[in-house]
Structure 1
């Protein structure tokens, strides 16, 4: 079978673990062996080695977004500081931001402690401004951060930006040190091995058909538990009762063959900085440890009725646009071979705000809705769920995203029409700015609807 991504292909051999052998009971049942489920199992097992923890995975650990993403471990949180402050307070919003920054270092620290070779390089993130409108947004972001009393985001001049990444048309950039580039499949598989070492039962090839209070149903048996954790992100809509909880939106990625040293001298990224630019339709990239350039972005259509299907992971028109976009950024890539292309579904809540929580009355816990910012946010979720499940009040359980309930998405066909109209609007906004040279009126009109 063809590996679902470059990351899976280059993460080493992997033999699926046996499925659930039959009915079992435990203290904590976790549905999903991506980053959310595995971080939760990891921190629970360390805190309470006596807990009986069972993780259930439909495919293999990291099969979904955890093994397919762009490899950014960043301090980005999908909801803005203003949104978080409106939900709670200014100080709580700042605490969430501080927790996200700390989560980047926590991921790096655990990978080192557990001997997980995930090709990690904390070079930060540079977001380029390649038009006057983009430069205005860059300046506004830095001014907003300063208004919150934050100093982790700085504005780079054209010369300072080009010293880091030698892209075309650069007028300036923003830079933050709070991001590490990594190999996500190596990290998630190493984490799966670690949780087993600490006594967690991990059953792959076990599709969950229903989640209920204290009960998880599968084709292989029933798991009863004091607490059931839903950690299914982009696959959540397939579960009965959760069809409108998270919309699966596809992000697609292309990757080059390993590039020569002379090519990298023309491109930059010597510290393996992750990179993007200030366009409206999100793009993201990194230089891998084996010197490939990986570049991804949004733009794939949202599937009707939130269907997650392997056919949606490949859209040749989107792949072509991504290759064109990255060559436009780096003309030195003209004629270079692109060897891999893949995609995956990420989970988007209706208000674009990730959440984590536990209902003590029915024992149902959850975390998700990361909108593509999950590599570090999942780690924060795992530590928070540990405290919630163990009943330990902490700084983490007081963060504003804890217990947040996003509204349900609209029923179809309104959901399909709305999400795809939003994606199309962002594409049109970028076109508008190229033609007018001014900030997009389309983006201003649509942005309140897109979180």
Structure 2
């Protein structure tokens, strides 16, 4: 097996250890808005609503806004188990991408007849988010910077040379990539000018909540829904510890957390993703790497890194490790994994040796709701009066907006271009129960790592998964 650039060009151990010596185990984004973030009341007593949304992340917030905007006369209630935006929506990398299918290759392998439509809808979706942010003056540090994909290995550079450039894809040589962002590891790449916007994740959640409240959505925090009851012809009842909410319709947007609809219990698994944030770069440090276009960046490996600049010129550096724990458990202690953060720090200084001496101010982790098709799926119950979405697999910042449009269309009983997509109508295969889930997931992770160490060549397991429509290449 071949070594990767991150193994052959490791920085000195001292550089890595010093960079992490004073790092705070906390989410930079949520800490950044802690003093200004609004708080919302706890459900205290029974409520009657027209529409109830469960989940105070992006999917739930967009859905509540769209429901209330379409029907201002209706009572729309949003219920959040902890605080608005505290989970994936407040701790992700802040890449708001156009793709609603976790990349075009994923769409090509699953819905080849709809690739063009899905791509167009993805761009329209990102354009709609940008318009909304601008029209309503949301302070979310929105920057439509585009996406830079970089090759770190010769076989990845070969992939680049096979790409065909067009209005949406600019093919770059090693020198052209380094003119944008200087690293000795970059051997080529592609730039997608319309594909990505950078945002401040926690500000986006907080500002969506503020806007929702301003138009009359009733938001409740620390109000975990413990049960859901109903049938096709009767009101829906949602239990919380301090009251029951009765509604005509419900949208369930709980991400990786257990579905209130038991039929979807095995359709997602939790995978932990790890992130580092540097201190703000000095002008000299920033000049040493260029990055004047402030593009969002990811490399082309199966186990890939993603990185971007913040508003105050910190570098967010995340990815690579994606850790599944036996039994699919979600625990706060899983977020503190120094093995992953040391690995990330080492890879950072391999990529940017000129930044030796930079410190990481924050380290954290979050749970990704992975589905077997690696993008969102849609479910329903009680004659369509309960709608459900999950499975964003780490690309939900933009795709949640599209999902909210689908949910509202379906709650309204509308047949639209969105609702008729195979992607929307088809359900992915569920994951198997334990111990098969752990065996399969970890064997797949091992195989992806092997491919990264073998010129990208996929073994029999990965080829079989590809043939079954369960393959994954990022």
**TM-score > 0.5, shorter chain as reference:** yes
User: CA, structure 1 residues 75+446, in 2 after alignment: closer, same or farther (shift >3 Å)?
Assistant: farther
Q: Which residue of 2 aligns with 1:170?
A: 186
Q: 8 Å contact 2:280–2:315 — kept in the other structure?
A: yes
| Partner residue in 2 for 1:439 | 456
Counterpart pick for 2:252 among 230, 236, 258: 230
Could you say if the C-alpha distance between residues 82 and 135 of structure 1 is closer, same or farther in structure 2, counting changes exceeding 3 Å?
closer
| Alpha-carbon offset, residue 231 of structure 1 | 0.5
1:361 has 2:383 as partner = yes
Distance in 2 of aligned mates of 1:382 and 1:359: 17
Match of 2:85 among 52, 59, 62: 62
Deviation per CA, 1:105-143: give whole Å up to 9, x if none. Answer: 222221222221111111111111122111123345x34
**5+ residue gaps in structure 1?**
none
State the SS of the aligned residue for 1:409: coil
CA distance in 2, matches of 1:19, 1:383: 27
Three-state SS of the structure 2 residue aligned to 1:223 is strand
Contact 2:370 2:393 in 1 (8 A): yes
- TM-score norm. by structure 1 comes to 0.91
Change (3 A) 1:280 1:87: closer
Alpha-carbon distance in 2 for matches of 1:243, 1:48: 32
Matches within 5 A, 1:282-431: 282-359=304-381, 361=383, 363-430=385-452
- Give the distance between the partners of 2:228 and 2:177, measured in 1 at CA: 49
Alignment of structure 1 residues 222-301 onto 2, 5 Å: 222-236=244-258, 242-301=264-323
Whether 1:211 aligns to 2:234 is no
**What is the aligned partner in structure 2 of residue 156 from structure 1?**
172
Deviates more, 1:356-365 or 1:109-118: 356-365
Q: Matched residues in 1 for 2:102 and 2:278: separation?
A: 32
TM-score (norm 2): 0.86
Shift of 1:71: 0.5
**Equivalent pair of 2:273/2:323 in contact (CA under 8 Å):** no
Aligned counterparts of 2:104 and 2:307: Cα–Cα separation in 1: 24
* CA spacing shift, 1:237–1:320, aligned 2, 3 Å: farther
**Distance in 1 separating the partners of 2:129 and 2:104:** 23
**Mean Cα displacement is larger for which, 391-400 or 237-246?**
237-246
Report how many residues are paired: 438
Shift of 1:403: 2.8
- Pick closer, same or farther for the CA change 1:310–1:185 going to 2, 3 Å: same
**Compared CA separation, residues 383 and 247, structure 1 to 2 (3 A):** same
CA distance in 2, matches of 1:88, 1:179: 22
Residue 160 of structure 2 is aligned to residue 138 of structure 1: yes
Q: Check the 8 A contact 2:280/2:312 in 1, yes or no.
A: yes
In the alignment, what sits opposite 2:48? 25
Q: Mean Cα displacement is larger for which, 102-111 or 440-449?
A: 440-449
- Measured in 2, the distance between the counterparts of 1:400 and 1:153 equals 26
Distance 1:310 1:340 in 2: 16
Contact 2:150/2:299 (CA < 8 Å) preserved in 1?
Answer: yes
